[in-house]
Structure 1
Amino acid sequence: MHSHEVMREVLKKTSAKQIAADMALSLSLIYKWAEPPEEDSGSGASSPLERVGQLIRISGDTRVAQWVCEQADGFFIRNPHNLPPTLNVIPATNDIVQEFADMLATIAKASADSVISKDEARTIRRRWEELKSVTEGFVKAAENGSFAPLKATGDEKSDAAS
């Protein structure tokens, strides 16, 4: 979804007049953010969403995205890259189960003394982020149709013939 489309959806639920007043900006500027960008318009009215995206691309620093997510009581998770075009569903499912088991083991170890230190909390957070990332990869692969049916090997064919 493009930034102007997001803004258009936001303005269906939130008053443009209220946004303009709270941000001390003109109402026309708020409405301009909900319009498709005009090439070479020179208006200089790129939306704040475009600016945030540009800042992330220029800096390569996802802490900007993390900060934005925190403003909405959320947390940033990077999407997995370089997924193979076809995956087997069983190994991918096993990866999620293993990550979940690793996270639970981390929690169990950290809580063994009934106290979780700052370092232990950071380790739990790291494991949790890894689990979310692996799970997101699974979901993306499912959405993209990347799970291929298992191909029958010679052994499976001979077993079926028996």
Structure 2
Amino acid sequence: MNSHEVLKKSVSDLGVKSVAADLGLSTSLIYKWCQPNDSEDASGADNPLDRLARVYELTGDRGPIEWLCRRADGYFVENGPTLETDAIPLLHMTRRIVREFSELLDVLTASIENDGRIDEEEADRIRREWEKLKSSAESFVSTCEKGAYNQ
């Protein structure tokens, strides 16, 4: 889905006029954001999603994207690379995911056994282990979806 389609769908329930008024912008600008802007004859305008994507392309910094994910009560999870099945057989990949889950449990156990609480530093370690596990699992699922283990 293109950025203009995402915005068009997003503002459809509330309405362009309401969104424009709440943002202090003109309705014509909101309408332009919801139109294609990817060719010479397109009449749309770069929208906030296009601009955020461009900031990421220029800087390589996912900070703004991660911030936006947190604002939506979520987290950014990087998709791992699609794996070459010759390099990592199915059984090895599933063992890797189980091992990473075990590492997450080790961090949780150490945090709780220490003093019965999880402080900010321990929560950060738990978050890092969780992100690593999600990335590995996503890589595995993507590889499966591409039919790599269907041979």
Length-normalised TM-score, structure 2: 0.87
5 Å matches for 1:2-151? 2-40=2-40, 45-81=45-81, 83-84=83-84, 88-112=89-113, 113-149=115-151
- Distance in structure 2 (CA, Å) of the matches to 1:119 and 1:38: 45
Name structure 1 gaps, 5 residues minimum. Answer: 150-162
* Displacement of 1:92: 1.7
Amino acid paired to 1:90: L
Structure 1 stretch 33-42 or stretch 119-128: which is displaced more?
33-42
- Distance in structure 2 (CA, Å) of the matches to 1:75 and 1:16: 28
Length-normalised TM-score, structure 1: 0.82
- Distance in structure 2 (CA, Å) of the matches to 1:38 and 1:105: 49
2:35·2:43 contact (CA, 8 Å) conserved in 1?
no
Amino acid paired to 1:94: R
- Distance in structure 2 (CA, Å) of the matches to 1:107 and 1:20: 46
Name structure 2 gaps, 5 residues minimum. Answer: none
Q: Describe the shift of the 1:64–1:134 C-alpha distance in structure 2 as closer, same or farther (beyond 3 A).
A: same
The percent of aligned pairs where both chains have the same amino acid is: 38
Q: Describe the shift of the 1:15–1:29 C-alpha distance in structure 2 as closer, same or farther (beyond 3 A).
A: same
- Highest RCO, 1 vs 2 (Cα 8 Å, sep ≥ 6): 1
- Distance in structure 1 (CA, Å) of the matches to 2:137 and 2:44: 40
